[in-house]
Structure 1
Amino acid sequence: LEAGEAESISPQNFFLSLVPTQLQKLLSHRQTVSWLSQFETILLGGAPAWSDLLDEARSCRLPISPTYGMTETASQIVTLKPKDFLAAKVSSGQVLPHAQITITSETGEPLAIGETGKITLQSDSLMLGYYPNFLQQPIYQPDDLGFVDSQGYVQIVGRDSNKIITGGENVFPAEVEAAIMATKLVKDVCVVGICDRTWGQAITAVYVPQNPDVSDQTLIASLEKTLSKVKRPKCWISLENLPRNSQGKINQPQLRQIIAAKTDTPMILAKA
Structure 2
Amino acid sequence: MPDPQALLSHCRAMPLWRSKPRVVSLVPTQLRRLLDHSAGVHWLRDLDVIWVGGAALLIDLADRARALEVRLAPCYGATETAAMVAAQSPERFLAGEQSYGTALGDVELRLESSGARLVRTLRLAIGRWREGALQPLVDGNGWWRSGDGASLEWAADGKSLLTMHGRLDDAIHSGGETVFPDQLAQRLLRKAHADGCALDGVLFFPVDHPEWGQRLVALVRCREGCLATDQWHQVQSCLEGLTRDWLPAERPSRWLQCPDLDVTDAGKWERKRWQAWVGLQ
TM bin (shorter chain): 0.7 to 0.9
TM-score, normalized by length of structure 2?
0.78
Cα separation, 1, equivalents of 2:276 and 2:261:
17
Cα separation, 2, equivalents of 1:243 and 1:102:
30
Cα separation, 2, equivalents of 1:73 and 1:218:
45
> CA offset at residue 262 of structure 1?
3.1
Which of the residues 66, 76, 91 maps onto 2:84?
76
Cα separation, 2, equivalents of 1:80 and 1:186:
26
Task: Choose between structure 1 and 2: higher helix proportion.
Answer: 2
| Deviation sequence 1:8-45 (CA, Å, 0-9, x none) | 21465432222223322322222211210111211111
User: Does the 8 A contact of 1:48 with 1:174 survive in 2?
Assistant: no
Cα separation, 1, equivalents of 2:252 and 2:81:
34
Cα separation, 2, equivalents of 1:214 and 1:67:
39
Cα separation, 2, equivalents of 1:6 and 1:166:
50
Residue aligned with 1:143, SS: strand
| Deviation sequence 1:154-181 (CA, Å, 0-9, x none) | 1212221122333333332234323247
Residue aligned with 2:31, SS: helix
> CA offset at residue 186 of structure 1?
4.9
In the alignment, which residue of structure 1 is the partner of 2:212?
A: 199
Q: Comparing 172-181 with 199-208, which one deviates more in the overlay?
A: 172-181
Cα separation, 1, equivalents of 2:134 and 2:234:
50
Unaligned runs of 5+ in 1: 107-116, 266-272
> CA offset at residue 4 of structure 1?
4.9
Q: Indicate whether 1:55 and 2:74 are aligned.
A: no
Higher alpha-carbon Rg: 2
Q: Indicate whether 1:90 and 2:62 are aligned.
A: no
| Deviation sequence 1:182-211 (CA, Å, 0-9, x none) | 366455432222221233221122344441
| Deviation sequence 1:66-96 (CA, Å, 0-9, x none) | 1111111111101001111112122111000
User: Does the 8 A contact of 1:121 with 1:141 survive in 2?
Assistant: yes
Q: Quick one: structure 1 residues 243 and 85, their matched pair in 2 at CA, closer, same or farther if it must change by over 3 Å?
A: closer
Paired residue type of 2:208: C
User: Does the 8 A contact of 1:118 with 1:146 survive in 2?
Assistant: yes
User: Does the 8 A contact of 2:198 with 2:222 survive in 1?
Assistant: yes
Cα separation, 1, equivalents of 2:242 and 2:81:
36
Q: Indicate whether 1:233 and 2:269 are aligned.
A: no
Q: Quick one: structure 1 residues 143 and 92, their matched pair in 2 at CA, closer, same or farther if it must change by over 3 Å?
A: same
Q: Quick one: structure 1 residues 223 and 261, their matched pair in 2 at CA, closer, same or farther if it must change by over 3 Å?
A: closer
In the alignment, which residue of structure 1 is the partner of 2:151?
A: 147
Which of the residues 238, 254, 259 maps onto 1:222?
238
Paired residue type of 1:203: L
Cα separation, 2, equivalents of 1:164 and 1:15:
39
Unaligned runs of 5+ in 2: none
| Percent identical | 25
Please list, as runs of the form range in 1=range in 2, the aligned pairs for 1:100-249 lying within 5 A after superposition. Answer: 100-106=108-114, 117-131=115-129, 132-135=133-136, 137=139, 138-150=142-154, 151-178=159-186, 179-180=188-189, 182=193, 185-210=198-223, 211-213=225-227, 217-227=233-243, 228-229=245-246, 230=248, 231-237=250-256, 238=258, 240-242=260-262, 244=264, 246-249=265-268
Number of equivalenced pairs: 251
Residue aligned with 1:88, SS: coil
Q: Quick one: structure 1 residues 147 and 70, their matched pair in 2 at CA, closer, same or farther if it must change by over 3 Å?
A: same
In the alignment, which residue of structure 2 is the partner of 1:14?
A: 22
User: Does the 8 A contact of 1:185 with 1:214 survive in 2?
Assistant: no
User: Does the 8 A contact of 1:202 with 1:235 survive in 2?
Assistant: no
User: Does the 8 A contact of 2:204 with 2:217 survive in 1?
Assistant: yes
TM-score, normalized by length of structure 1?
0.80
